[in-house]
Structure 1
Amino acid sequence: MGSLLKSVALAAGLGLVALQPTQALADPLQAAVGNEHRSEKNAARDEFRHPYEVLSFFGVSPDMTVVEIWPASGWWTEILAPYLAANGQYYAAHFPDNNFLPFYKPARKRFSQKLAANPELYGKVKLTSFFPPEEAEIAPEGSADAVLTFRNVHNWIRFKFEQQAFEQFYKALKPGGVLGVVEHRAKPGTSVEQMDKTGYVTEEYTKQLAKNAGFIFEESSEVNANPADTKDHPKGVWTLPPTNALKDQDREKYQAIGESDRFVLRFRKPKE
C-alpha cells in the first residue's frame, strides 16, 4: 500500500474521514460535476456547457474564494458550492431583492429557497447583490481568487453598465486573481446595438471592457464553440435552447443546432 493510501486508511480508522481510498484519490471537481444532488435537467446541459472543462480552464480549485455573478436559478451553484464548501468560499452575487425589474426579486427568492432547502450543500454560501451602479459589495474588496460570469455581458450592455461591471470585478479580486467570462459569441464587427438586440457579444468588445478595467487577457478556450450556430435567428440567441423563444415553430431545426456558440475567456488582475 502506498503512503497516500496508508494515510487515508489510517485517517478512516481513526474516524477522521468517511471516504474510501479510491474516493479520496478521485478528482474533486469531477466528483462535484457528477454529484447526485444536481438536478437531471441541469446535468443534461453539460454537453453544451462543459462545466468540468470550463472550471478547469479558469483554474478553479477547492481552496479558492470564488464569486459567481448572477447565478440565477443556481445551475453553477450546484457544482461550485459543494466543491468549495470544505476549504474555500462561494459567493453568489445575485440580483438585488429591491430592484425595479419584476423578474429579479422572485428569482432571488427562489435561489434563497434553494439554498435554505439543503443546508448540508449550501450552508456556507454567502449571498450578495450585484447591480451597478449600486455600491453593494459582491465580496469584500481584494478577497476573491476568482470572479466568474456565465452568459451575462449582453444583459449588462442592455443596462449600459457593462464597464462598471468589470470594474467591480477588478475591485473584488486579489492581485493575481482570475476573471472568467463565458458569453454568446457574436460575429466580429457586430455593433453594440446589435449585441443588445441579439444577445451575442463580440470577443473584441469583451476584451476591451476587461482591459479598460485593468485586466490582462491570458487565454481563450473553444470548449463551448458551436459552429452550427449561424447567429442570425429571428429572436436572437433566445431562439435556441434552452429558451426556445419561438416555442414549437421550427423547433426541430433549433434543437438540432443546440445551444449557442460561446467564447470562454480568462483574464487576470495584475500582481502588485
Structure 2
Amino acid sequence: MKTKITTLSLAVLVTLGITACSDQKEQAESEQEANQLVAVETTKTEQEVKVEKKTTTGSSLLGIIEGEHRSDANKARNQYRHPAETLKFFGIKPGMTIVEVSPGGGWYTEILAPWLGAEGKLYAAHFDPNSEVEYYRNGLKNFQEKLEANPDLYSNVELTVFDATSSTPIAPANSADVVVTFRNVHNWMRGGRDDALNAFSLMYDAVKPGGYLGVVEHRLATGLKQDEQASSGYMHEKFVIDLAEEAGFKLLERSQINANPKDTTNHPKGVWTLPPSLRLGDENRDTYLEIGESDRMTLKFVKPATE
C-alpha cells in the first residue's frame, strides 16, 4: 500500500520555539514515547476495567495488543501504557472513525488500525513531509514505511498533517467519533500556550458533536512549577484541562489507569530520565527502572452535542 498525505493537509509545518537540534530530537523522541477539579474523578485499575475483546471480524483486542505484528519492545511497554484499558476508557470501538494526533512511531497505531477493522477509519495526523526539520521528515518517513510494510493491517489508515501553528484541518470537520493524543501536549507548548490551544482547537473541529477527545499526558506533581514551555515534559493536569475547555470541550471523566505513584516527576532530565529514554544512561539506571515510566493523567472530554 502506498501511503500519501491527503489534500486537506498540505500546509507547511512551521517550527517555532526550537533553537537547537537537541531540542528538536527531544521533542520528537517524547512524541514517540507519554488538583481538585469540579468534574468527577474516576479511578480504574487494570483489574476493574472490563475490556471488550471481540471486534466485528472476531479479532480480540487483547490478541491485537499481543499480536505478532508488534515488536517485543513495544509489547513490553504494555505494562506501563495499558492500551486495552485506555482505549476502553476513551470509548473506542470497531467501526469508528478515529483521529490519532502525532502518532510518532505508531505504537498506538498498530493497535488502533486492526481494532477499528475494515469498517473503521483512522486518520493519522503526523509531521509535514516538507518540514524544515530533518528529524521530523525522517520520523514521518519511518511511519509511512511501517504502514506500507503491512498494507492489509493498515488499509484503513489515512495520513494527514498536524501543525500546532496552523489552521489546516487534521481530518474532515465533525467527522471523528474520537480524537486521541498520547503524551504530546508538552511538545505543543514549545511554541507557547497559544500553539497548544490551537492544537486543541484543531482537535475540536475534527470531532463530531457528542464525540470525544482522549488525552494521555505526563502529569506534573502539584507542588512543582511548570515553566512556560513545559520543558520537563510534565504538565499540571489542571493546565491541560483548561486548554481543552477553552477550545470548547467539556471534561467528562478522569482516570488513574496510567498513574504511577512511584514517579516524583522531579528528575534531572525531566520525563526523559525515566524509561524508555533513560537519558542519564547508566547513572542511577536501576533506580529509574524501578520507578518505571512516568505518572500520567488520562482525560476524557466531550464535544457538546449543541453549541
Which structure has the larger Rg? 1
Show the 5 A alignment for 1:112-261.
Answer: 112-160=144-192, 161-188=195-222, 190-193=224-227, 196-261=230-295
Equivalent position of 2:25 in the other structure: none
Give the distance between the partners of 1:83 and 1:218, measured in 2 at CA.
24
SS in 2 for 1:198: coil
Q: Is the 8 A contact 2:55 2:94 kept in 1?
A: no
Q: Going by fraction, where is helix more abundant, 1 or 2?
A: 1
Give the distance between the partners of 1:189 and 1:149, measured in 2 at CA.
26
Give the distance between the partners of 1:158 and 1:67, measured in 2 at CA.
22
- How much has 1:101 moved relative to structure 2? 2.4
Equivalent position of 1:264 in the other structure: 298
SS in 2 for 1:122: coil
Between the two proteins, the alignment pairs up a number of residues equal to: 251
Give the distance between the partners of 1:230 and 1:204, measured in 2 at CA.
18
AA in 2 matched with 1:53: E
Q: Does 1:72 align with 2:104?
A: yes
TM-score (norm 2): 0.78
- Tell me which of the two structures has the higher relative contact order, counting C-alpha pairs closer than 8 angstroms and 6 or more residues apart: 2
AA in 2 matched with 1:244: L
AA in 1 matched with 2:297: F
SS in 1 for 2:80: helix
Q: Does 1:95 align with 2:115?
A: no
- Which runs of at least 4 in structure 1 moved beyond 3 Å after TM superposition? 22-28, 189-192
- How much has 1:189 moved relative to structure 2? 5.6
Q: From the superposition, tell whether residues 78 and 182 of structure 1 become closer, same or farther in structure 2 (CA, over 3 Å).
A: same
TM-score (norm 1): 0.88
- How much has 1:194 moved relative to structure 2? 6.4
- How much has 1:123 moved relative to structure 2? 2.1
Q: Does 1:81 align with 2:81?
A: no
AA in 2 matched with 1:76: Y
Q: Is the 8 A contact 1:195 1:201 kept in 2?
A: no
Q: From the superposition, tell whether residues 55 and 269 of structure 1 become closer, same or farther in structure 2 (CA, over 3 Å).
A: same
Give the distance between the partners of 1:133 and 1:216, measured in 2 at CA.
23
- How much has 1:38 moved relative to structure 2? 1.2
Over aligned residue pairs, what C-alpha RMSD do you find? 1.8
- How much has 1:198 moved relative to structure 2? 0.8
Show the 5 A alignment for 1:28-47.
Answer: 28-47=60-79
Equivalent position of 1:48 in the other structure: 80
Q: Gaps spanning 5+ residues in structure 1: where?
A: 1-21
Give the distance between the partners of 1:236 and 1:200, measured in 2 at CA.
7
AA in 2 matched with 1:271: A
The percentage of aligned residue pairs carrying the same residue is 50
Q: Is the 8 A contact 1:226 1:261 kept in 2?
A: yes
Q: Gaps spanning 5+ residues in structure 2: where?
A: 1-53
- How much has 1:133 moved relative to structure 2? 2.2
Give the distance between the partners of 2:168 and 2:270, measured in 1 at CA.
32
- How much has 1:85 moved relative to structure 2? 2.8
